[in-house]
Structure 1
Amino acid sequence: MAVIISRFPQRIVPSGRLELKNRMDRTRDKMAIMFLLLLKLPAMETTSGKVLEETYHKWIQYRDDCIRMIDNEPLPQDGLFCNRTFDRYACWPDAPAGSLINISCPFYLPWYDKVSRGVVRQRCGSDGLWELEDNGHVWRDKSECEEEKEVTSQEMWFKKMMVSFRTLYTVGYSLSLFTLVTALIILLSIRKLHCTRNYIHANLFLSFILRAVSVIIKDTMLERHWGRDIMKPTDVSEMLSHQAAIGCRIAQVLMQYCVLANHYWFFGEAIYLYSVLIASVLIDSNKYLPYICLGWGTPLLFVIPWMVMKLLKENKECWAVNENMNYWWIIRSPILFASLINFLIFLKILKVILSKLRANNQSEYPGYKVRLAKATLTLIPLFGIHEIIFIFATDEQTSGFLRYFKIFFTLSLNSFQGFLVAVLYCYSNKEVRTELKRKLRTWRLEAEIVCCGQ
């Protein structure tokens, strides 16, 4: 005999907070729902954090409504029945012995809209006890409340793809980090390389280093915040507390600053080359100071307002989710502005290079196109020209294959860009290689003199 129970509604208006009789029940409830969510939610930390907290609060509401029903509903007058209970997944009313009980899928499930017409089932045995499985747990059929297999397979594919992307850009940033640190040491340690051009290169290298470190730290903080294992009851409350999010929020702010600083040192490189080849800009008695203000000072003008708006309007989790895209434009607009100006300067410089090659009658020689192509490819990573490809294809406007391609393209180029810049403007630079060879010869001679003297 199947009995459909409709006494417990699918949605109940939130009520005042109910006091539980036993504090340990509360912590066990937290652990149960968190285990459920951590098994079901996607692997993307930036999204799962928000869904996790919202789902947990809905579960609290569902649990409180169930406790109120258990306390207030009158007991059956006669007959053998299974007792009403809340098993931390669904709310079960009293059930006549020998009956199959169907209740609606719990409304706190993140995918409730897809399973709102489904039911979860339990069987009340003829002895007035809930039927058990062979392993001793209460038998429950919740197949209609699970996500569709097709959606789950898509989720698994998305998880694997994002893990691959993360591995890709982690490798890229790590490689860039190693080569950039070495290049920075070379530029700063050899005195004959000290000039405005190389000082700007050194600051660009440093901005790449800080960007790589900040991205790695941000990922580590997000994984630490949302990827921790639930080993004891206090882990749940710590995970959902604002105090636990402070570290990843600081990492998020530092990352935004470093990304902006990186783009504005691209801008500084473009302006310097423009001033050398075309017109004098940012020139005063101290040629280096304006570039310092541009590269390290300008990002503060945008990161600080963005941080204030996040604190006042979107103070949730690790500040990784942009609910109101207007606040995100505080960070995005200066990057777009710098990228557009860099692209215009890039075109202007290529025009000047082309005109000089033609003026020297080099356009008649086979190497003409090679030199032009070399100049073009050399300037692209220095100015960050690849940013212009998806400059108008914003995150909210892209979907499907285009979105995945944009993510792959942006992450791969951004992570390996520091490596390319270090190779092009340090290791492959003729002046740097000459001075480095001279320095190595000097060290070798000094070492030989020391050895012979002994």
Structure 2
Amino acid sequence: TAYCSWIFDSYLCWPPTRAGETALQKCPPTKGLDPTKFAERRCTEEGKWEGKLGVPSTNNQGWTNYTNCYLPEVLELLRKLGNDAEIKLNIAKRTRTLEMIGLVTSLIALVISLIIFYRFRSLRNNRTRIHKNLFIAMVIQVLIRLTLYIDQAIIRNADENAKPLYSIENTPYLCEASYILLEYARTAMFLWMFIEGLYLHNIVTVTVFQGRFPHAIYAIVGWGVPVLMTVIWAGFTAVKSNQKCWYNYNLTDYYRILEGPRLVVILLNFVFLFNIIRVLVVKLRQSHTSDVEQVRKAVRAAIVLLPLLGITNLLNMSKAPLDRSPFEFAVWSYVTHFLTTFQGFFIAMIYCFLNGEVRTAILKSISVWMSLRGHHDWAHRRRSFFSVNFPTNAETEQPQQQPPQNGVDLKRQRTSQLQPSRQRSTWINLLFLTKPKNQKQREQPPESVIFDISD
């Protein structure tokens, strides 16, 4: 009786099999495969391993049928990729390089922004409190994602014949814990974006904004609610998934426990954005601005708020066009991951580095430092071309006014008070005032929000 000789197919070692029979073995515990199912190899009547699609193997290596081993979501993924699977996988590999660049850039920008916000006392206000919490959530997410990407790259580039490396991906519990923390940080980021939108919306649309800043409530919503959501999702995943390191957990149905609330946050922020733009247009009409200028200013304001409110994540949360042409898939992949990974950089750039008040605080500090070293003629003369200005007196201090030193200064001060301030026509100025307690509505409130966007 003829037999097919034993063979190793890189995953399983197959014993000698009688001609005309099919050998079965449990699927290997590899990503995307179900270890409770069986892979098969068929030995032909001639005593040779059967090739793919029933064709006899020319080199007697044969073909192992792992089709039954694939998870349903992986089979659906392969079906959508079709004949262009290899091309699309290469696109995905190049996208990973773009992600690494974006994550590193965002991490550097966010860390520098946090240092600036914590370093300067003049920047400590309610709005920057929210900014700092959002930046911290984004930093945690970026750090974990970078760590996982680097770990995966080391494992994939390791020599197959070398001793297996210890890594996050092949360490039980550590890998799952990393993804749990990643999803927690991502959920916290979305909820702090919701708080950003809610706070801005209340200042813009509510004419009377009374009461103290609800920092404790915001902290519970921003950091506490994600704990509950993540614990529920992790419990379902641990029970339902039999995969090592929860491979492809984002393709499962119970991942909607996290993605559903995130999508609701984006939709609510979209409503906030629409209402803010509506108020802006009303104020522009009251100032007798031309229709073209109104549209242009409204579009600029929307572009500024898109990354802060997380609306750019909507494209990433949509289904990938895997069944489309490689060109369409490449466009979607590059654009989506560019917006997602560079999001931290854009937010830090708009709301910190290009912020007029941040620049003023930094230049003032540099001016003092230079003056102490004998450079008394050094002074900053230029403000930022883009700024989001807020009065940021320290929460425990009152604004101080320097008395005029002589009659000339007093005359200049009186003249500046009598003359209205001149503004360049190339700037968008959106002023949202909040009414303090026990004051008339006509009086200038102590807190205002001004968005200045240059041409």
Regarding TM over 0.5, the answer is yes
Q: CA deviation at 1:141?
A: 4.5
Aligned match of 1:195: 125
TM-score, with structure 2 as normaliser:
0.66
1:399 alignment partner AA: D
Work out which of the residue numbers 176, 186, 190 in structure 1 matches 2:106: 176
For the pair 1:313 / 2:266, whether they are aligned, the reply is no
> Structure 1 residues 198 and 144 mapped into 2: Cα distance closer, same or farther (>3 Å)?
closer
For the pair 1:119 / 2:56, whether they are aligned, the reply is yes
Work out which of the residue numbers 156, 164, 179 in structure 2 matches 1:235: 164
Moved more, 288-297 or 264-273: 288-297
1:102 alignment partner AA: K
Aligned match of 1:49: 31
Q: CA deviation at 1:102?
A: 3.2
CA contact (8 A) 1:49 1:226 kept: no
Work out which of the residue numbers 95, 98, 101 in structure 2 matches 1:165: 95
Cα distance between partner residues in 2 of 1:282 and 1:311: 45
C-alpha distance after superposition, 1:166-213 (max 9, x if no partner): 011111111111111111111111101100111111222222222211
DSSP-derived class of the 1:103 partner: coil
Cα distance between partner residues in 2 of 1:340 and 1:261: 16
Q: CA deviation at 1:438?
A: 0.8
For the pair 1:400 / 2:330, whether they are aligned, the reply is no
C-alpha distance after superposition, 1:209-234 (max 9, x if no partner): 222112112223444566643335x7
Work out which of the residue numbers 146, 149, 152 in structure 2 matches 1:219: 149
Aligned match of 2:263: 336
C-alpha distance after superposition, 1:120-164 (max 9, x if no partner): 25xxxxxxxxxxxxxxxxxx34488899xxx99944423321111
> Structure 1 residues 330 and 152 mapped into 2: Cα distance closer, same or farther (>3 Å)?
closer
Work out which of the residue numbers 21, 28, 49 in structure 2 matches 1:103: 49
C-alpha distance after superposition, 1:361-415 (max 9, x if no partner): 2236x75444322211101111122234565x435x8632455544333211011
DSSP-derived class of the 1:218 partner: helix
DSSP-derived class of the 1:182 partner: helix
Please state which structure has a larger fraction of its residues in helix. 1
For the pair 1:8 / 2:19, whether they are aligned, the reply is yes
> Structure 1 residues 143 and 179 mapped into 2: Cα distance closer, same or farther (>3 Å)?
same
1:75-94 superposed matches below 5 A: none
Q: CA deviation at 1:13?
A: 6.0
Work out which of the residue numbers 404, 425, 445 in structure 1 matches 2:371: 445
Aligned match of 1:351: 278
TM-score, with structure 1 as normaliser:
0.66
Cα distance between partner residues in 1 of 2:128 and 2:114: 10
Aligned match of 1:427: 353
CA contact (8 A) 1:165 1:408 kept: yes
CA contact (8 A) 1:222 1:318 kept: no
CA contact (8 A) 1:221 1:247 kept: no
DSSP-derived class of the 1:49 partner: coil
1:289 alignment partner AA: A
For the pair 1:296 / 2:307, whether they are aligned, the reply is no
1:298 alignment partner AA: V
CA contact (8 A) 2:353 2:359 kept: yes
Aligned match of 1:260: 187
Cα distance between partner residues in 2 of 1:315 and 1:280: 54
> Structure 1 residues 228 and 92 mapped into 2: Cα distance closer, same or farther (>3 Å)?
farther
Cα distance between partner residues in 2 of 1:303 and 1:283: 34
DSSP-derived class of the 2:48 partner: strand
The percent of aligned pairs where both chains have the same amino acid is: 23
CA contact (8 A) 2:141 2:185 kept: yes
Q: CA deviation at 1:328?
A: 0.9
> Structure 1 residues 58 and 222 mapped into 2: Cα distance closer, same or farther (>3 Å)?
farther
Aligned match of 2:313: 387
> Structure 1 residues 304 and 146 mapped into 2: Cα distance closer, same or farther (>3 Å)?
closer
> Structure 1 residues 354 and 211 mapped into 2: Cα distance closer, same or farther (>3 Å)?
same
DSSP-derived class of the 1:256 partner: helix
DSSP-derived class of the 2:116 partner: helix
1:171 alignment partner AA: I
CA contact (8 A) 1:119 1:142 kept: no
Question: Which protein is bigger by CA-based radius of gyration?
Answer: 1
DSSP-derived class of the 2:248 partner: coil
| Structure 1 residue ranges without an equivalent (≥5) | 16-32, 35-46, 63-89, 94-99, 106-114, 122-139, 450-454
CA contact (8 A) 2:180 2:230 kept: yes
CA contact (8 A) 1:118 1:145 kept: no
Q: CA deviation at 1:283?
A: 7.3
Aligned match of 1:44: none
| Structure 2 residue ranges without an equivalent (≥5) | 5-16, 67-80, 376-455
Q: CA deviation at 1:262?
A: 1.4
DSSP-derived class of the 2:186 partner: helix
The size of the alignment, in residue pairs, is 347
Moved more, 331-340 or 257-266: 257-266
Q: CA deviation at 1:313?
A: 1.3
DSSP-derived class of the 2:342 partner: helix
1:11 alignment partner AA: T
